Amino acid sequence: MAKFVIECPSCGKYTQASNFIFAKKHIDCTCGYTINVRTDKMTSRVCAHCGNNVIFDQSRGESAVCPVCKEKINTSEHIFNKVDFSCPTCSCTLSADKNAAKYTCPLCDTVIDVQAQVAKDRIKKQGLATVIKYEGPEDVFVWKYPVEDFNFGSQLIVHESQEAVFFRDGQALDLFPAGRHILETQNLPILDKVYKYPANDDTIFHSEVYFINQAVQMGIKWGTDSKVRMFDPATGLHIELGACGQFNLKVCDSRKLLIKLVGTSPIFTRDEIIDGGVPTKPAIAKFKALIMTKVKSNLVRIIKEKNINILEVDESIDIISEELRVCINEGLAEYGLVMPEFFVTSILTPDDDPNFKRLKQQHADRYLNVQQEHILKETVEAKAERQAVEAQTAARLKIIEAQGEAEAFKIKAAAEAEEMRMKGFTYQQETARKVGVGAVENMGGTSGGDLAGIAGLGVSLGAIGGVMNMTKEAMGSAGFGANSSQPPAPQGESWDCTCGNRSIIGNFCNNCGAKKPQNGWDCTCGNKNIVGNFCNNCGAKKPENSAWDCACGNKNIVGNFCNNCGAKKPEPDAAWDCECGNKGIIGKFCNNCGKGRTV
Give the closest residue to 209 by CA, choosing from 175, 250, 253.
Answer: 175
**Percent of the chain whose pLDDT exceeds 70:** 75
pLDDT band at 249 (very low <50, low <70, confident <90, very high): very high
**Percent of the chain whose pLDDT exceeds 90:** 11
Would the pLDDT of 599 be above 70?
A: no
**Alpha carbon distances (Å) from 339 to 13, 186, 269, 284, 305:** 48, 36, 16, 20, 23
Q: Give CA 282 to chain center in angstroms.
A: 44
The answer to whether 8 and 35 have CB atoms below 8 angstroms apart is: yes
Q: DSSP readout, 470-519?
A: HTHHHHHHTTTTS---SPPPP-PPPB--TTS--SB-SSB-TTT-PBPPPP
pLDDT band at 273 (very low <50, low <70, confident <90, very high): confident
pLDDT number for residue 195: 55
What number is the average pLDDT over the span 450-458?
Answer: 46
Give the closest residue to 104 by CA, choosing from 49, 170, 47, 58.
Answer: 47
What number is the average pLDDT over the span 193-198?
Answer: 54
Distance (Å, whole) CA 552 – CA 533 = 31
Would the pLDDT of 211 be above 60?
A: yes
Please report which helix (H) or strand (E) contains residue 193, including its range: helix 189-195
**Alpha carbon distances (Å) from 120 to 87, 91, 125, 211:** 11, 13, 9, 18
What number is the average pLDDT over the span 40-50?
Answer: 80
Domain 217-349, CATH homologous superfamily name and number: Band 7 domain (3.30.479.30)
* pLDDT tens-place string over residues 120-169: 777 666 656 678 888 778 888 998 888 877 777 788 899 988 999 988 77
What number is the average pLDDT over the span 40-67?
Answer: 82
The three-state secondary structure class of 136 is: coil
* Strand partners of residue 205: 150
Domain boundaries, the chain: 128-213, 217-349, 351-391, 414-517
pLDDT number for residue 250: 93
Distance (Å, whole) CA 178 – CA 118 = 25
Q: What is the mean pLDDT of the chain?
A: 77
Higher pLDDT, 486 or 554: 554
